[in-house]
Structure 1
Amino acid sequence: MADAPPATSLVGHIPDLRRYARALTGDGWSADDLVQDTLERACERWQLWAAGSDLRAWLFTLMHNLFIDGARRAVRQQGQRVPVEDVGDELVAPAPASDQSLDLQRCLMRLPEAQREVLLLVSLEDLGYEEVARITGVPVGTVMSRLSRARGRLRELMDGSRTRAAPAVAPLRRLK
């Protein structure tokens, strides 16, 4: 392991990995498992990391691939997934909180996985479009499109949760 990066550089990325994993999974335990699996895979496959390249992007790529593999495995094991929109009326909302963090987390989890991943990598991890494209394995244009759709959908979801209780503004009338 003479060409392996120092362990301190790997350890320095753990908070970023945990933050992204928690945002991806929506669950602390699952996030910790995902980070652990990512670190194990990174240690097993140091020879695949190109020395001098961005270690953070490589780790995020490993995490992204593990998350996608886990999601696919869960679909195969569970059978069919039910979209949240289909059972939204049956779900019980939590008690209103003074802050919007619960609403944001719930709205983030309602985004499609591909959009949520791109949104989190760009906004939470402050990665560039090219890095996100490399991590997710899609073209830069697709990253930009997914990001735009994710931001729009998140805005709709957040506004929808606030405007349900508030009366809607009357539409403008045309006068001659």
Structure 2
Amino acid sequence: MSDMLHLIEPLIPALRRYARALLRERAAADDLVQDCLERAIGRWHLRRADGNVQGWLFAILHNLAINRLRQSQSRGRHIAIEDAGEAVLSQPPAQEDGLHHGDVLRALDLLPEDQRSVLLLVSVEDLSYAEAAAVLGVPVGTVMSRLARGRERLRGILEDGTDIAARRGAHLRRVK
């Protein structure tokens, strides 16, 4: 036991420096060093008797750090509750966003199919005008025109709940 302490204790400052350089956070680095030492002591019997203790400890520390970084990427960053502000602990209400989302979907349903298709392809699916024109089999100018009319009509529906063309009393005429 004293042999183990004699070999490990002088390496603790170097382990701390390395852990802080990896994690960039003092508390997390200290926890990492503690976990490393706990693992090394618990598995002391598994190390090679003629092996390099320093290399073994740094390998343990490095592997633990990589595992923590991977976990933090999937879980998000850890913040101590006393360090967290009110904005971190609370969320803005989402009810209005849900209502607005529903309004947009209902307004899209009110658009003519040709305008809705162009609006979805260009604004939602992020296709270029040329790509949307190819998908729909129409000229690029037609895509641009339908998109402009669709956006205007959608804006009118969302602003006051009525179709902008009906509000203006405008009707489309067929020109021969």
Pair in the same fold by TM > 0.5: no
Q: Kindly indicate whether structure 1 or structure 2 has the higher relative contact order, using CA contacts under 8 Å at least 6 residues apart.
A: 1
Greater C-alpha Rg: 2
Structure with greater helix percent: 2
TM-score class, shorter: 0.3 to 0.5
TM-score computed with the length of structure 2 as normaliser:
0.41
TM-score computed with the length of structure 1 as normaliser:
0.41
